[in-house]
Amino acid sequence: MKRNISYTIYLLATLIAAVGFTGCTESIMDDINKNTSNPPVSSVDARFQLTNAIMSMAFTTYGGLYSWTVASYTEQIFGDGGAQMMYAEMRDPIVTAAPTTFNNEWNNTYHNLLNISQIIDKCENGVNKGQEDLLGMARVLKVLGFQALTELHGDIPFSEALNDGIKNPKLDSQEKIYQSLLAEIDKAIESLNKAISGSQSSCGAQDILYGGNVKKWLGLAYAVKARLLLDGSVRFPTNIQNALASAEAAISEGFSGAELSIFNGVDADNSWAAFFRSRHYSGSSETVVKLMEVRNDPRLAIYATDYFDSGILYAAPGSSLASTIDNVGAPAWVSNEAATIHLLSEASLRFIMAECKARLGMDATEDFKQGVRSSLRDYSNSARIAIEDSDVDSYVLSFDKPDLKEIMVQKYLSQSRDEQIETYNDLRRCMANGEEYIHLTNPNNKDGGDNGENRWPYSLPYGNSDVVSNPNVAAAFGTGNSAGYYIFKQPLWLFTK
């Protein structure tokens, strides 16, 4: 009997030990993959995420392959080198419509927007709750990112994007996205105003755009709103008046451009310079040169340089020179690793104001001339080539009261520096209005001549990662031999009446 009791006690002890050991083991397993040296994202101060958010927005979304490629579509840069940019220049439909063409930019922009959404969440609910300055900055960046995606690609994952619980986010209509972005930029303005009224500035050196200057961010927010409103003016003509009011508010807040200027040629490179140095794919376009020549424009010597000592300063869009390398001249700024990257230049905002005033029947002279002056300074600074003050004055004074065409031409020349994405928007917007202020000459815009099928893309194809993994994106992209060819057939909602 004692033996049985002892055995029973032994069994219970063994069972208790086993249970205890199991619990200990599960606890260990829960923690075994945790890196205790690195805290979870939720506990990291969001201002440290701001730096990467700004850098990625400038370097990847507004200063990367999106810009390099649409610069060929707008004829502001001649694409050569016998490879990637040659295909853009020749309007090769297989490459132009391929989901792999912009896959990296598509992915990286969404990755950055995820980072930005985490900043917003932390400012609203987490470790940075109450930091209105950081919240406003993140909201401005969110608008910039989604604005680029929808104005380049059309209907995109938006409301269900960046949600861990949704593996296949739906496509939202561009109309819905556009209205949401207008609401978001108003929230950004509200947050930044709260920060200013409370003398709140917490980002400091982590803000590599403005060094924590909240007032400058407020000016940028108004400028972004002005551009967004004008881009939607085909659908909403009353936006023109509102765009002018927002642009004036930006100037009132001291907006003088949003440009990343941390590049020094040693630690980091301007993206255009890095791209050119590694591949030599960016040449000077005859379309820009001819517009400058007829105006005796002092920017011409900067835009078209005999970079390779080949005697060829520029090339006609779509010419056979696209298949060559180290041959066609290039803008001088592509050899300056320290050139800034614009999210939105002062010149572009001035031309937005001038266009709005011209369309409203107002005198746009002063804003127009301010835009021209700012552009000449930017060309000079970006290339480290001085334009004499007397030449600037003579050029500006050569214009009387500008008409809408000259305003759009000067905006086109100004944005040839590094704002080709917005020129792409301007061209499509003007096409929707039945206006042609910039005559595109690339013969490959039509497949087989003037009567052929259109090969000038109205939008860009979706990224391959979503085309192959998200059924919603795959359905919009299409299947078979014509997959992706919708980009040649249907203008985006924003750019149709």
Instruction: Quick: pLDDT tens for 154-167.
Output: 999 999 999 988 99
State the burial class of residue 164 (Cβ atoms within 10 Å of its Cβ: 0-12, 13-18, 19+). exposed
**Residue 55 belongs to a domain:** yes
Domain-embedded: residue 311: no
Q: Which domain holds residue 66?
A: 45-257+420-495
How high does pLDDT run on average in the chain? 93
Query: Does residue 331 register a pLDDT over 60?
Result: yes
pLDDT band at 427; cut points 50, 70, 90: very high
Could you give the CA distance from residue 152 to residue 66 in angstroms, rounded to a whole number? Answer: 9
pLDDT at 267: 58
Q: Does residue 377 contact residue 289 with C-beta atoms inside 8 Å?
A: no
Task: Tell me how far apart the 2 most distant CA atoms of the chain are, in Å.
Answer: 117
Cα–Cα distance measured from residue 261 to residue 55, given in angstroms and rounded to the nearest whole number: 10
pLDDT of residue 163: 92
Residue type, 350: R
3-state SS string for the chain = CHHHHHHHHHHHHHHHHHHHHHHHHHHHHHHCCCCCCCCCHHHCCCHHHHHHHHHHHHHHHCCCHHHHHHHHHCCCCEECCCCHHHHHHCCCHHHHCCCCCCHHHHHHHHHHHHHHHHHHHHHHHCCCCCCHHHHHHHHHHHHHHHHHHHHHHCCEECCCCCCCCCCCCCEECHHHHHHHHHHHHHHHHHHHHHHHHCCCCCCHHHCCCCCCCHHHHHHHHHHHHHHHHHHCCCCCCCHHHHHHHHHHHHHHCCCCCEEECCCCCCCCCCHHHHHHHHHCCEECEHHHHHHHHHCCCCCHHHHCECCCCCCCCCECCCCHHHHCCCCCCECHHHHCCCCCEEEECHHHHHHHHHHHHHHCCCCCHHHHHHHHHHHHHHHHHHHCCCCCHHHHHHHHHCCCCCCHHHHHHHHHHHHCCCCHHHHHHHHHHHHHCCCCCCCCCCHHHEECCCCCEECCCCCCCCCHHHHHHCHHHHHHHCCHHHCCHHHHCCCCHHHCC
List CB contacts of 457: < 8 A, sequence separation 6 or more. Answer: 73, 96, 97, 487, 488
16 vs 364, more confident: 364
Task: With a cut of 80, say whether residue 13 has pLDDT above it.
Answer: no
pLDDT of residue 266: 61
Q: Is the pLDDT of residue 10 over 80?
A: no
Q: In terms of Cα–Cα distance, which of 104, 113, 102 is closest to 158?
A: 113
| Cβ atoms of residues 428 and 63 within 8 Å | no
Does some domain include residue 248? yes
Name the token pair of 145.
């990112």
Task: For 189-208, write each residue's pLDDT tens digit.
Answer: 999 999 999 998 889 999 99
CB 50 within 8 A of CB 117: no
What is the model's pLDDT at position 446?
Answer: 95
User: pLDDT tens digits for 361-416?
Assistant: 999 999 999 999 999 999 999 999 999 999 999 999 999 999 999 999 999 999 99
Contact between 360 and 352 under an 8 Å Cβ cutoff? The reply is no
In whole angstroms, give the CA distance from residue 157 to residue 176: 11
Q: Is residue 194 part of a domain?
A: yes
Beta bridge partners of 310: none
**Which residue in the block uniquely carries the two structure tokens 């020129």?**
423
d(CA 355, CA 90): 32
Of 110, 26, 10, 14, which is closest to residue 60 (Cα–Cα)? 110
pLDDT band for 42, please (50, 70, 90 cuts): confident
Output the pTM of the full model: 0.92
Structure tokens at 22: 């199991």
Per the domain annotation, does 362 fall within a domain? Answer: no
pLDDT, tens digit, for every residue of 349-371?
999 999 999 999 999 999 999 99
Instruction: For 240-249, write each residue's pLDDT tens digit.
Output: 999 999 999 9
At residue 182, φ and ψ (nearest 5 deg) are -65, -40
Query: From CA 110, how far away is CA 371, in angstroms rounded?
Result: 32
Domain containing residue 110: CATH number: 1.25.40.390
Is residue 252 in a domain? Answer: yes
For the purposes of burial, counting CB atoms within 10 Å of the CB of 8, is it exposed (0-12), middle (13-18) or buried (19 or more)?
exposed
Q: Is 444 within a domain? A: yes
Asked if residue 281 is part of any domain, the answer here is no
| Residue 289 CA neighbour count, 13 Å, CB half | 19
Write down the pLDDT at residue 29: 54
Tokens representing 481? Answer: 């031999």
Number of domains in the chain: 1
Size of the chain in residues = 497
